[in-house]
Amino acid sequence: MARKIPPPTPDKPLAPSGVKQSTFNQLLDIARQKIELTGTAPSVSEVALFAGVSRATAYRCFPSRAAMLTAVVGVSLGPMRTFASDHLDGIDRVLDLFKRSLPRLTKNETSFRTAVQLSLEQRALALAGQLKEPSFRRGYRIQILAHAMEPFKTQLPQDIYLQLHKALSVVYGIESYIVLKDIWGETSKQVETTVLWMAKALVEAAQIEACARINSQPGKVKRTQSLKGKT
């Protein structure tokens, strides 16, 4: 049976009712340009001013900085949001996702770093009881990884699958760039090599743990090779 391929992800989200798509796209493009130039998340009012659009219209498009950054990150991820792989083996699918995603992370590094910056800023304000705007919550990677990891749902025990999902979500994102570039001084190419190594190591560790658990149960047929698949 042929696997259903999800429809292509649109380059830009749809404009809210009552707002022209061209106006929405203009605001989103200016928000991305401001982020690339300043490395910080602009206010919705600031974007409206540069776009020559009324604040009321801008806030209909993006009720908050959080909403605006969510749209920017979504556009930066592009087709990765509806990732589809021809690989049937779990580890091949995961590595395929990483190999296709890392160049986009590199290209849009400033936007992704700005998203982390806003998230950390708001978290600190929330802990101090000073947050006065809607929180920016990132989460695209959870769904993206879930699709790539689909074969593991029937191959790994539920708790190991969940642990692998969480572990890969730490590696799949700009956070790896922050550590490897800012602390280790790696180039973008070196970051990609290291991240791929980590992703492969995490999958193999989960497979080994699952095999060990199955093989330790009385009366169970050893399944080391069938679980490990291609490595």
In tens, the pLDDT along 11-40 reads 678 899 999 999 999 999 999 999 999 999
Q: What is the mean pLDDT of residues 151-177?
A: 96
Looking at the structure, tell me whether residues 54 and 132 fall in a common domain.
Answer: no
Residue 137 CB partners (closer than 8 Å, separation 6+):
66, 119
Rounded to whole angstroms, the Cα distance separating 127 from 99 reads: 36
Q: What is the mean pLDDT of residues 186-206?
A: 98
Q: Which of 50, 45, 8, 10 is nearest to 29 (CA)?
A: 50
Looking at the structure, tell me whether residues 135 and 208 fall in a common domain.
Answer: yes
Per-residue model confidence (pLDDT) at position 226: 52
Q: Which residue has the higher pLDDT, 180 or 80?
A: 180
Looking at the structure, tell me whether residues 146 and 175 fall in a common domain.
Answer: yes
Residue 6 is assigned to a structural domain of this protein: no
Q: How many CB atoms lie within 10 A of CB 21?
A: 11
Per-residue model confidence (pLDDT) at position 175: 96
Looking at the structure, tell me whether residues 47 and 83 fall in a common domain.
Answer: no
> What does pTM read for this prediction?
0.84
Looking at the structure, tell me whether residues 20 and 58 fall in a common domain.
Answer: yes
Looking at the structure, tell me whether residues 116 and 213 fall in a common domain.
Answer: yes
Tell me if 40 sits within 8 A of 115, measured CB to CB.
Answer: no
Mean pLDDT over the full length of the chain: 90
Under the banding of pLDDT at 50, 70 and 90, the label for residue 82 is: confident
DSSP helix/strand/coil, 84: coil
Looking at the structure, tell me whether residues 180 and 133 fall in a common domain.
Answer: yes
Of the segments 5-14, 144-153, 215-224, which one has the largest average pLDDT value? 144-153
Per-residue model confidence (pLDDT) at position 9: 57
Q: Which of 227, 206, 204 is nearest to 155 (CA)?
A: 227
Number of domains in the chain: 2
Domain closes at, from 31, 63, 95: 63
Residue 73 is assigned to a structural domain of this protein: no
Looking at the structure, tell me whether residues 54 and 165 fall in a common domain.
Answer: no
